[in-house]
Amino acid sequence: MSDKLKALPVIIVRLFRAAGGLVELLLFIRLFLKFTAANPDAPVVGLLYQLSDSLVSPFSPIFSDIYIFNRLIEVPAISAMAGYAILMLIISQLWKLFTRPYHR
């Protein structure tokens, strides 16, 4: 088996972690923008909200938003961050369980 084919699981894990990191970053930026009351009519802010709406929507029925000192704390976004982090951990552990380690 060639070295490139042996390294494929490593590449897949790295891409998976990068995608998970981007999801977490997008949710964190959304949380920060909501907390600072950024204008949703601004093109960049509107785009970020659109991109992250589908990530937050599964968690919206679980918790409602709260206000602390007139600042919005979007609890569904926080729970989405935790949920996706747990999901990524479970998937990566299952991946390790069912693949052989790559040794050069």
Domain assignment of residue 103, yes or no: no
Backbone torsion region of residue 74, taken as left when φ is above 0, otherwise alpha when ψ lies between -120 and 50, otherwise beta: beta
Could you tell me the residue range of the domain that residue 86 belongs to? 3-98
How is residue 63 written in tokens?
Answer: 């918790």
User: 88-101, pLDDT tens digit by residue?
Assistant: 999 988 888 877 66
How far apart CA 60 and CA 70 sit, in angstroms, is 20
Q: Residue 104 domain-assigned?
A: no
- How many helices and strands (H and E) does the chain possess? 4, 2
Q: What is the pLDDT of residue 95?
A: 84
Assess if residue 26 is contained within a domain: yes
Tens-place pLDDT, residues 20-70? 999 999 999 999 999 999 999 999 999 999 999 999 999 999 988 999 988
